[in-house]
Amino acid sequence: MGDEEAGLCGQVLNKCVDPSSQQKKPLFYSLFQLLLLLCLFFGILGYSMISSSIWQSIPLHHQSQRSFQWISQVGQDNPELEEETKKFLKTTAKPIVPASAPPEGIQYHEGYPTNYRFLIDHKDVCKTNNPFLVLITPAAPKNVRARNVIRQTWGNETLVQDKVVVHLFVLGLPGGSDAEEVQKSLNEENLQHQDLIQSNFVDTYHNLTIKTMVLMHWLATRCPKAAYVMKIDTDMLLSVENLLTMLQRPNIPKTNYLTGYIMRNIPVVRSMNSKWYVSEEMYPENTYPPYPLGTAYLLSNDLPAKFVEISKSVNYCTVEDAYIGMCMKKLELSILQPPDPSQFRVYHFKYNRCQFSKFITYNVISPDELEKFWTDLKRPEPPCPEKKPEDASNEKNNKD
């Protein structure tokens, strides 16, 4: 068949038309062909509208599951197409909801801690010790020096005011070319001290929210009977004595309690050059809800389980302490000021033994500084000099 004859093959009828009949009935044939094309066009349009309506009524996670089923079928014949489609869906599709999450509404689970598992765990530490207070510290895998100084200072206090205190470190997987060597060291460190909790997320700055939610999951499942928890960073000086004194006050709530240095009306950083950058897609509001500064905050131990559950419906945010504020807002709970806010110190100033003896937390610049301050504070001499009678009299006169 020549090129001219081939051009007469009807695409709609899927067969060749006789050239002679084309010449005999040009008008009839053209009208018939036009009618078929119109029928085909309106048929496709109607089908598309019905299909689109049905597709939109299907929950997002079902759409994702069907998409991935389609990938597996197509990929058997075309691996390259499978890989490209996976990349596309990874950047555009909503994550599939875990089986434990309710099917209604939009669900998020990037920071949901049960997506991860514990590699190093101490399931019975709270059963054995029955602590009143748990101190839990997020730590970088390689920061051995900071962990050792904490073990020698405030992390070594296990019985304060007749209350049992437990301290643990939480970390993720080491990265870099020496990751295997670092992991071996961590295993040995844990065998020696029995105080590391490790999960299988990569330990990076932008995964701090995951780290925080993992420690909340550990508290909710391994240590639910403790009364209070302090989440505290490695660069903090802590007076467990002053903290326990605060917790003994009769007006301290036993449930739904979160306190620390409270941040309010903090603008969201939109500069992509900042390590605190958060996109509008991640968090659309211009300011964060109130949240406790992540260096150190105290919470009643009923909150970790509530944070874990509510995180299913709170969009992931890389600013971990702001994320806690977002969870509190979703729970319709308020963050409370501590009885004496000046005890939760943030900004550096010159060391003064008398003043520092009254703090609960203080941010230090290095493990050496932490060790130095702690050693001085623990000297047997009273931290504040006794006032002489004339000093007391002058103070009274000044007040009058």
- The CATH number that applies at residue 124 is 3.90.550.10
Number of folded domains that form the chain: 2
Same domain? For 194 and 86 the reply is no
* Any domain includes 52: no
Same domain? For 140 and 230 the reply is yes
Q: Is this prediction's pTM over 0.75?
A: no
Between 72-76, 113-117, 158-162, 335-339, the lowest mean confidence (pLDDT) is in 72-76
Which structure tokens are listed for 53?
């309506």
- Looking at residues 379-388, what average pLDDT do you find? 88
Going by C-alpha positions, the residue among 152, 149, 151, 201 that lies closest to residue 172 is 201
* Any domain includes 197: yes
Same domain? For 200 and 72 the reply is no
What is residue 247's predicted lDDT score, i.e. its pLDDT? 98
Same domain? For 184 and 301 the reply is yes
Same domain? For 77 and 132 the reply is no
Average pLDDT of the residues of the chain: 80
CA dist 79 → 76, 133, 137, 150, 277 (Å): 6, 54, 45, 52, 36
Is residue 370 a contact partner of residue 364, using CB atoms and an 8 Å limit? yes
* Any domain includes 322: yes
61-65, 71-75, 104-108: range with highest mean pLDDT = 104-108
* Any domain includes 231: yes
What is residue 183's predicted lDDT score, i.e. its pLDDT? 97
* Any domain includes 184: yes
Which pLDDT band, with edges at 50, 70 and 90, does 245 fall under?
very high
Phi-psi region of 43 (alpha: psi -120 to 50; beta: other; left: phi over 0): alpha
- Looking at residues 262-266, what average pLDDT do you find? 97
* Any domain includes 45: no
Which pLDDT band, with edges at 50, 70 and 90, does 83 fall under?
very low
Q: How far apart are CA 152 and CA 174, in angstroms?
A: 24
What is residue 220's predicted lDDT score, i.e. its pLDDT? 96
What is residue 163's predicted lDDT score, i.e. its pLDDT? 97
Between 348 and 254, the more confident residue is 254
What is residue 195's predicted lDDT score, i.e. its pLDDT? 98
- What percent of the chain has a predicted confidence (pLDDT) above 70? 69
Same domain? For 134 and 80 the reply is no
Between 301 and 41, the more confident residue is 301
* Any domain includes 27: no
Structural domain boundaries, residue 80:
60-92
Which of 43, 73, 92 is the endpoint of a domain? 92
Q: What are the two backbone dihedrals, phi and then psi, of residue 100, each rounded to the nearest 5 degrees?
A: -80, -15
Between 392 and 272, the more confident residue is 272
* Any domain includes 391: no
Question: Is residue 395 within a helix (H) or strand (E), and if so which, with residue range?
Answer: helix 389-399
Q: Is the pLDDT of residue 4 over 60?
A: no
